Amino acid sequence: MTKPESKKSGMAMATGKCASTAVSEELINNGSVEPALSPSCQEQGTPTKPRTMKQMSRESLSSRRNTECEVFDDGTNTFFWRAHTVTVLFILTCALVYVTLLEETPQDTAYNTKRGIVASILVFLCFGVTQAKDGPFTRPHPAYWRFWLCVTVVYELFLIFILFQTVHDGRQFMKYIDPKLGVPLPERDYGGNCLIYDPGNTSDPFHNIWDKMDGFVPAHFLGWYIKTLMIRDWWMCMIISVMFEFLEYSLEHQLPNFSECWWDHWIMDVLVCNGLGIYCGMKTLGWLSMKPYQWQGLWNIPTYKGKIKRIAFQFTPYSWVKFEWKPASNLRRWLAVLGIIFMFLLAELNTFYLKFVLWMPPEHYLVLLRLVFFVNVGGVAMREIYDFMDDPKFHKKLGQQAWLVAAITVTEFLIVVKYDPNTIMLPIPFFIMQCWILGILLILTWTLWRFFIRDITLRYKETRRRKQEVPADRDRPLGNGSTSTPSGRSKLNGSSEPLRQRKS
């Protein structure tokens, strides 16, 4: 008797503009609202959810979420999706009983200390993966993102611990993780011969190019592909990509591995690797924003092909938000976008400086792990920052992952400053200093012009025009808050207008 009902409920797909994705997804995946007790119950329960969402979104979110896709979800909540809190607790207890009571404790204090710390981290992960607060992402499984959240916390605490040690102790502490660490890095020679066609080498005159074709080429490409998926904006990606090469030029007197040939900077990195990565990323973004978001339970799909497709699509996002950063729309967004670019570049620089001050060889697995970590964590953080910026209400909260990533970037930078103040303080060459001062001045001038002078001028012109044209209706309220007349200002600052209307 249950089969046809189940199918019927599966077909009666709930249509809801996924306006409040963060909220709705959390509700769905915690299973805290949705009943989904039985097929017949689902039939009643599922249509409630989108109605709820719609109501919640009507006032607070309607203005901002026009960049979001439509989502169809039949609300199936299978075994796979459940939290398994009690199961995890039971398994954890059994594991603890086995390891601590049935196995004999070694007498080595140092080994036990390490084991105790690892066990604490594992228990923390057990707790976090089942119980931590869900973020904006839910695919392939919310537990996946909870896991990375916990890893973020552990990494940040590790950094804080390192930050509080003396330079010598901190470097030696790395020996506890890998006994091969804690040794000064050998000096390396970069740059050198920059001829594309080297007539001196008769056997292979293009050897300089082939030398650069190492593992870093696909790494750069892949890195920028993923960064594009994070930032979701062509212009911001290009600016960060170019800015980083400028930073490499500016800092090559501090870190020798920033010094590269001019064609390595601009052709190999910016154009070929990064450019191709950004291009492919933008193509994928296009696909993701066009792709239909239909989530049916696996058992509600009749064909095998459909089932396999559904399983594969589990690894694509639940819904999609196009990022429209609109840096020029108002001063707050402009400063926020500048801040994001600054933090992004700082995090990229940290990769190199941290290796340098903690004596990590570039090919060490920890360096790779840190990148894998940032790939998983950066996307969530960027989405949370976008939500934070885009949120019209006043009581908003910066997302937890964004908070932690910001804290990590700051802590990493503090470690770099503390561990090697000499390198950081090496005076920047005068010519480069001039360039930077010029750049900063340009940005400042543009900011002043765009958000202060131009606004005042426009408002003045508008006022004068109105006074001249319509001297009759003098009693109409005047200024930026007037909602009835589409003033010049409101046309310019388009997206900020709903906010201002709301406040008035």
Give the single-character DSSP code of 129.
H
Amino acid at residue number 501? Q
What crossing angle do the helices spanning 365-390 and 216-231 adopt, rounded to 10°? 20
Closest distance of CB 432 from a second copy, Å: 25
Closest distance of CB 306 from a second copy, Å: 25
- Give CA separation, 153 vs 55, 369, 388, 403, in Å: 35, 15, 20, 10
Closest distance of CB 382 from a second copy, Å: 16
Helix (H, G, I), strand (E, B) or coil at 314: coil
Q: Is 359 left (phi over 0), alpha (psi -120 to 50) or beta?
A: left
Closest distance of CB 375 from a second copy, Å: 22
Partners of 71 in the β-ladder: 16, 293
- CA–CA dist 173, 360 (Å, integer): 12
Partners of 17 in the β-ladder: 70
Burial pattern 247-281, b for ≥16 Cβ within 10 A else e, equals bbbbbbebbeebbbbebbbeebbbeebbbebbebb
Nearer to a second copy, 375 or 414 (CB): 414
Nearer to a second copy, 108 or 204 (CB): 108
Nearer to a second copy, 54 or 307 (CB): 54
Nearer to a second copy, 98 or 460 (CB): 98
Cβ atoms of 348 and 244 closer than 8 Å: yes
Helix (H, G, I), strand (E, B) or coil at 445: helix
ω into residue 140 within 30 of 0, thus cis?
A: yes
Closest distance of CB 45 from a second copy, Å: 5
Closest distance of CB 438 from a second copy, Å: 28
Nearer to a second copy, 66 or 113 (CB): 113
Nearer to a second copy, 91 or 440 (CB): 91
Nearer to a second copy, 81 or 374 (CB): 81
Closest distance of CB 77 from a second copy, Å: 5
Closest distance of CB 416 from a second copy, Å: 11
Backbone angles phi, psi at 179, to 5 degrees: -60, -15
Closest distance of CB 466 from a second copy, Å: 23
- Give CA separation, 132 vs 145, 204, 220, in Å: 10, 57, 33
Closest distance of CB 31 from a second copy, Å: 3
- CA–CA dist 407, 359 (Å, integer): 22
Nearer to a second copy, 361 or 481 (CB): 481
Amino acid at residue number 329? S
Closest distance of CB 134 from a second copy, Å: 8
Nearer to a second copy, 425 or 442 (CB): 425
DSSP 2-31: HHHHHHHHHHSPEEEE-TTHHHHHHHHHHT
DSSP 205-250: TTHHHHHH-STHHHHHHHHHHHHHHHH--HHHHHHHHHHHHHHHHH
- CA–CA dist 162, 159 (Å, integer): 5
Nearer to a second copy, 375 or 407 (CB): 407
Nearer to a second copy, 86 or 290 (CB): 86
